[in-house]
Amino acid sequence: MKFIRNIIKPQDKEDEEFYVALKKLLGFRPKNINYYKTAFIHRSIKVLDENGNPINYERMEFLGDAMLGSVIAAFLFKTVPDGNEGYLTQMRSKIVSRNQLNTLGKELDLIRFVKSTISKNRMGQNIYGNIFEALIGAIYLDRGYRYCEKFIDKRVINAFVDIPSLENKITSYKGLIIEWCQKTKKNLEFQTYEDSGNENIRHYSVKLVIDGKVISKGRSTSKKKAEEIASKRIYFVYQDEIKNML
């Protein structure tokens, strides 16, 4: 019994503070805080288990991503009985989009728990969504599916999911432009090149070419972001035509 009590109520001061903060965040008592500790270990710490396997949040993130997708899929299946497979898949993608998960992780201030050798202000925005998913993975391992479902229902579904609003939400302008060009038989090309100029941070520029003509440009610190910016600019030029076609 002593062993069990030590798991539920840690005696170490740092663990005790973590336990109290975690209990408040989750809305229930964690049984084994070691799962949650792992959910906030960054790979830069280079912690290994007794078999030499790395211990960090990435495996927890994988599990949490699957659990989140499962809970959201069940919610949509029950809530939208007339939605076909394509519609349900698209809606799930909108709910669990990287931007949305980053926002949720940031609102919960999960970064405060992260153990890393890298300064937190140097971490990319995706760290917030990654550890949010890792936290869900830890909940599943600690308390099972039902508690996982309750947490997602409270923090994700009740917090921001509104079906009518999500139906009109665009999560990827690039994907939308590609689909539009395919349906209208237009030749689409993204011409991407490195463009750092006099800046210390690497930048990329993109020319979005349709039927041999440069229609828009985008520039950012990653190819993906630059392509999305260029695609978004095209969308607002042709949005009426795109909406009618799609």
User: Which of the residues are catalytic?
Assistant: 65, 133
Strand, helix or coil at 220? strand
Q: Alpha helices, DSSP H only, in the chain?
A: 2-8, 13-26, 33-39, 57-79, 85-95, 98-107, 126-143, 145-152, 158-160, 163-167, 173-183, 223-245
How many Å apart are CA 129 and CA 124, to the nearest integer?
Answer: 10
The structure tokens listed for 227 are 């392509």
How many Å apart are CA 143 and CA 28, to the nearest integer?
Answer: 10
Decide if 139 contacts 148 (C-beta within 8 A): yes
Residue 63: CB partners within 8 Å, gap ≥ 6?
A: 136, 137, 140, 141
